[in-house]
Amino acid sequence: MPKESPATPSKTAVVKEKRFLEISGMDRELLNIIERRAALLRREGSWRRSKNMSKVDPQLEKQLRASWEKAGEGLGLDPRLSRQLFGVINQFALQPGRSASTGNSYNLAPGREPADARIDGPRSRRLSRMWMAMAASAGQELDLKNVPDSGPVKDFAKALIQAGASNKWDGSTLEMPASGGFQFENAMLFAGDDPANFYLLLAFAIGHMGRTKFTGQPALQMLDLGPLHKLLPKIGARLAAMNPNNPGLPARLESGGPMDEEIDLPAGIDAEFAGALALAAWSFPGGLTINSIPAYARPAVADAVSVLNACGIEASLEKSTCTVSDGIPKIPQSPSLPLDVELASALLALPAFCNGSVTVNGDWPDSEIGGLVLQDLQAMGIEFTTGTSCITATGGGEKQDADIAMGVYPGLYPLALALGLKKNTAKLDGPVQDVAVELLDRMNADYEITDNNTLELKGGELEWEGSWCSPDIRWTLACALIAYVRPHIGLENHGELTVIWPQFWNFYNTLPTGRMKPRPAKEEPNDVRRRIKIRS
């Protein structure tokens, strides 16, 4: 039988195929342009953050917006949609880059000598702000020492001034005089770029009647307020976005309605808001009982409970329920700040990667999360000794074949992955994070994700090519440790860690001693010098 000739495509199919190829080609060009634009803005943002400035240059954004709108004139495009598109495209620059470019990257190649170092450890960023918020709300004096030299903490101190609570910095000490308490009515509060700042201000504003506006840097403009919309009406408040192009800030709070004395936290609630709500609950009539606290939010709520109890407020955390009574707090004039678990744990983990010992000045927190970190590090062969306001981690001890448990807390998952890669074969507790999978794929690591969504590392040699834009300072710290296993990891935005922890890279780059280079002495402007001419 003769072969049947293939059917000739219809004219309609040919036209559709042509349109598809034309449009899909344009889409690829658009995406490439967006990627290049985002890379330029990310590079600018990283430079600004390294200089302790906001990531986004307001003047540059204003100029770009004006240029965008001018370029759109006469094109027949809907101006409203065009403005929304500008906002969405800008958000790509605020997200971590996924390129493997070898551009301006920071090469992580630590030495191999055993550590013999000592460092003043970073103090808790969360507890710093919780103490500041409590004193501001109660209108009482506070003399807080060893306050972390962190951009978000300084942003919070400035926001307190906008809310009527004056304060001043003196070196590493924050002084707050007695005041009339928070003044939220018709206030416009700037929260910087850290959601924790916004959540603390919001939680205390809920207990006041009136209207309050919140604004912040672009990172907060895309904040998901959905879980808050479900919860706030139960405690007499309503939060509405003020810019239809942004789901997050700026937003307006209306508060002062009837409040339930017992609530359930909705799914997806931010851990920092759970902690902030527990901290502010003493100022609500009748206090508050908070149910359905997710496991990942327990450390934040536990910190709030510790502060409340130190202020004489009855508060407790049992499993997934926190109960806070109302009352009048008495703020200790100079409470002590423990070490920041998420940051200082990277210091205590160093001997697992380079041996030797590291002494961290500061008190390790006596908490559930703090105990879990020590447990995992001890399984890595690290032994701990404590002195007067210090803790020393020494490597070379007996290692244990145990799962890495700290991954159950999202903020510690990066460190858990670094420890797992050091062990070569390991199991990590806690849900697998997308960033972990991305890093493992970049390093060509052998791993498996189990049916219950946990990670098993299978060992093997790690690879690395190009550079990477870290999505979070915790992943940056993890890369600093992983570089002991696979040197020459390139980071495009290492400077963002400097904003949060200015001393880290100086310490890291001067190991094994960790003796930081002193700052150059400033010349006195009135220093009179004479030039002496020597005759031969």
- For residue 512, whether the previous peptide bond is cis, meaning omega lies within 30 degrees of 0, is yes
CATH 3.65.10.10 in the chain is located at 106-121+339-509, 125-324
Q: Is domain 19-70+81-92 in CATH 1.25.40, yes or no? A: no
In 139-233, which residue ranges form alpha helices assigned H by DSSP? 151-162, 195-206, 218-221, 226-231
Q: What is the DSSP-derived secondary structure letter of residue 121?
A: P
d(CA 13, CA 26): 20
Query: Which regions of the chain are under pLDDT 50?
Result: 98-102, 536
Query: What count of residues does the chain have?
Result: 536
Q: Which residues pair with 168 in a beta bridge?
A: 175
CATH H-level superfamily of 106-121+339-509: Enolpyruvate transferase domain (3.65.10.10)
List, by residue range, all CATH 1.20.59 domains of the chain.
19-70+81-92
pLDDT digits (tens, 9 = 90+) for 374-391: 999 999 999 999 999 999
DSSP 3-state of 407: helix
Instruction: Show the tokens assigned to 226.
Output: 């959905």
Calculate the average pLDDT of the chain.
Answer: 89
pLDDT at 393: 98
pLDDT of residue 63: 83
Q: What is the pLDDT of residues 125-175, one digit of tens each?
A: 999 999 999 999 999 999 999 999 999 999 999 999 999 999 999 889 999
Contacts 24+ apart (CB under 8 A), 448-455: 454/427, 454/428, 454/429, 454/430, 455/407, 455/417, 455/420, 455/427, 455/428
Can you tell me the distance from the alpha carbon of 334 to that of 147, in angstroms, rounded to the nearest whole number?
Answer: 11
CA distance 167 to 158: 8
pLDDT at residue number 102: 44
For the CA atoms of 353, 356, 359, 364, the dihedral, rounded to the nearest 10 degrees, stands at 50
DSSP notation for 88-100: HHHHHTTSPP---
CB 77 within 8 A of CB 64: no
Residues in Cβ contact with 469 at an 8 Å cutoff, skipping those fewer than 6 apart:
42, 96, 97, 98, 99, 491, 492, 493
Query: What pLDDT, in 10s, does the model give residues 395-424?
Result: 999 999 999 999 999 999 999 999 999 999
Sequence-ordered strand ranges (E) for 106-247: 106-108, 115-120, 142-144, 168-170, 173-176, 187-190, 210-215, 237-241
Predicted confidence (pLDDT) per residue in 75-116, tens digit: 778 777 777 788 778 777 766 554 444 457 899 999 889 999
How high is the pLDDT of residue 77?
80
pLDDT of residue 518: 60
Per-residue confidence (pLDDT) for residue 24, from 0 to 100: 80
Predicted local confidence at residue 529, as pLDDT: 54
CA distances from 56 to 45, 249, 494 (A): 6, 15, 17
- Closest listed residue to residue 500, CA positions, set 144, 83, 42, 155: 155
- Phi (first) and psi of residue 118, to 5 degrees: -140, 140
Whether residue 250 is preceded by a cis peptide bond, meaning omega within 30 degrees of 0, is yes
**pLDDT of 101:** 46
CATH number of 125-324: 3.65.10.10
Supply the pLDDT for residue 99: 46
